Amino acid sequence: MNGIKKAGIILSLIAVGAVSIFAVQDAETDEIIEKKIHNEYKVYALPIPENLKLAGEPVPLSNPDIRERMDRELLVNTYWQSNALLLFKRANKYFPQVEPLLKEYGIPDDFKYLMVAESALDFRSSPAGASGLWHFMKATGQEYGLEINDYVDERYDLQKATKAAAEYLKKAKERFGSWTMAAAAYNGGMAGLNRQIERQGQTDYYDLLLNEETSRYVFRIVALKEIMENPKKYGFHFRDKDLYQPIPTRKIKVDYPVEDWSEWVKQYGINYKILKIHNPWLRDTYLKNASKKEYIIEIPDIGYYDY
């Protein structure tokens, strides 16, 4: 056997040995990972609190159907961790604006979680066209006094939309007799809910057979309330500095047409993007205001944006 052949055989043996070593190492690594997963990665069933309520009205958890539906929403909203963390962060920014208005209108504080259930505190519109954090449809928003056109859409004005939502919920409570039914009506519509009451001869949300979305709706609100009021209980840990902070603004009255918002804002040292962040209800780059209606523009205090 010549030298070249010997060298080739030796190299082949070395290569086979190396592969064998790496194969053993990979197997050992897989075994370590599997042990770590087995020992450290656990998904738990959640104990259901026995005294869950919406606006002081108890959820009848002794009913097995109700208990299963409540369990579903607690699981879905707890284990969708990225979404839940975003809710905690956004709530710190928006709840302080909503809470005093709900109190002023006599609406239980729990209804801020209805807003969370509607929009996840995100200003994106739904596929059906519901807009703003309270997710008003256009016709309903206009019915409750919100201006909606090509230049202004007050569904995106959090204060005005909160007032409109409060008026709707008050009317629904008067019509159906409970805050739970008022919440269901916010999702399914008063007329739709009334049709089911007449068809089924039941007046309690928990006794009605409703469409998939409305039948989950109140449970989702209650689950969000429970999780967001008890974050550590459900495994969520964050610091105050992790939460999104409200930015103080000053209010500027505008009762005239504006030809170009991007030019108009320069006098306040910001750009059009920042104007829209704080005034998402402005829907175009200009404002037709022949009637000289008064609008309030919010301008962030100096020092919060690098511009």
* Confidence at 13, pLDDT banded by 50, 70, 90: very low
The pLDDT of residue 5 is: 53
Q: Is the pLDDT of residue 32 over 90?
A: no
Is residue 114 helix, strand or coil? Answer: helix
Q: Is the pLDDT of residue 106 over 70?
A: yes
Please say whether the beta carbons of 111 and 53 come within 8 A: no
The pLDDT of residue 277 is: 96
**201 and 280 together in one domain:** no
The pLDDT of residue 30 is: 73
Question: pTM to 2 decimals?
Answer: 0.86
Chosen domain end from 195, 211, 242? 242
Q: What is the mean pLDDT of residues 119-139?
A: 95
Q: What is the mean pLDDT of residues 3-13?
A: 51
Q: What is the mean pLDDT of residues 142-168?
A: 97
Is residue 250 helix, strand or coil? Answer: strand
How many domains is the chain built from?
A: 2
Structure-token pair, residue 23: 């194969």
User: Of 17-31, 50-64, 127-141, 247-261, where does mean pLDDT reach its minimum?
Assistant: 17-31
**107 and 229 together in one domain:** yes
Residue whose tokens read 């000289």: 292
**273 and 199 together in one domain:** no
**67 and 175 together in one domain:** yes
**93 and 220 together in one domain:** yes
User: Does residue 8 form part of some domain?
Assistant: no
Please say whether the beta carbons of 161 and 94 come within 8 A: no
Is residue 300 helix, strand or coil? Answer: strand
Chosen domain end from 224, 242, 260? 242
The pLDDT of residue 31 is: 75
CATH number of the domain where residue 127 is located: 1.10.530.10
**221 and 254 together in one domain:** no
**237 and 280 together in one domain:** no
Q: Which domain holds residue 280?
A: 249-300
Please tell me the number of Cα atoms within 13 Å of 113 on its side-chain side. 22
pLDDT in tens, 216-260: 999 999 999 999 999 999 999 999 999 999 999 999 999 999 999
**104 and 253 together in one domain:** no
* Confidence at 136, pLDDT banded by 50, 70, 90: very high
Q: Is the pLDDT of residue 72 over 80?
A: yes
User: Does residue 28 form part of some domain?
Assistant: no
The pLDDT of residue 25 is: 58
**234 and 175 together in one domain:** yes
**152 and 289 together in one domain:** no
**71 and 134 together in one domain:** yes
Chosen domain end from 196, 220, 242? 242
User: Does residue 36 form part of some domain?
Assistant: no
